[in-house]
């Protein structure tokens, strides 16, 4: 390949390439806040987190609401004087590039004396699925208590 007089020599092009390639090896990291700066954040948003190592791998998250699970093992906090009860964690989450949030539910309990998220206990419900589950739970509670209140 021949170079015209206005083109840089192959040596200078190669040197430039090598310098650019070297600089790219020390690429700039991306902070999660940079990926959400242009988004209109929902009112429930508390923080964002990368859920996969890509610029579009950001998930918006609410604070988690915990409900104690008295029929599951908790974990000791200090020498048997206190326990951290098992709980179910409910959180609103939304992938930054998706239109609708979803409801994230997971169970935390004692495993070998430590509190851990229980493998296989993680559920991601669409809003409609979460509403249907909530309705089913309320109906089950009413039936178990023998109440006649109707759930809308």
pLDDT tens digits in sequence order for the chain, 152 residues long: 555 555 556 668 888 888 887 777 766 778 888 878 888 889 999 999 888 888 778 899 999 999 999 998 888 877 778 888 999 999 999 998 889 999 999 999 888 877 888 888 999 999 999 999 999 999 999 999 998 766 55
Closest CA to 131 of 150, 147, 151, 112: 151
Query: Counting beta carbons within 10 angstroms of the beta carbon of residue 94, is it exposed (0 to 12), middle (13 to 18) or buried (19 or more)?
Result: buried
d(CA 61, CA 19) in angstroms, rounded, equals: 40
Q: How far apart are CA 16 and CA 10, in angstroms?
A: 10
Q: What per-residue confidence (pLDDT) applies to 4?
A: 54
Q: Name the maximum alpha-carbon separation found in the chain.
A: 93
To 10 degrees, the CA torsion angle through 68, 70, 73, 79? 80
139: left (phi over 0), alpha (psi -120 to 50) or beta: alpha
The rounded distance, in Å, linking the Cα atoms of 61 and 46 is 6
């Amino acid at each position: 390949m021949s170079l015209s007089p206005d083109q840089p020599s192959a040596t200078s092009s190669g040197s430039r390439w090598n310098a650019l390639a070297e600089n790219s090896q020390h690429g700039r990291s991306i902070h999660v806040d940079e990926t959400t700066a242009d988004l209109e954040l929902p009112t429930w948003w508390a923080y964002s987190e990368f859920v996969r190592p890509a610029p579009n791998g950001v998930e918006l998250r609410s604070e988690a609401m915990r409900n104690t699970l008295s029929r599951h093992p908790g974990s000791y906090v200090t020498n048997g004087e206190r326990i951290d009860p098992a709980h179910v964690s409910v959180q609103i989450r939304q992938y930054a590039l998706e239109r609708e949030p979803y409801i994230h539910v997971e169970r935390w309990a004692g495993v070998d004396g430590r509190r851990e998220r229980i493998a296989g206990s993680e559920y991601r419900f669409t809003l409609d699925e979460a509403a249907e589950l909530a309705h089913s739970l309320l109906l089950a509670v009413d039936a178990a208590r023998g109440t006649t209140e109707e759930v809308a």
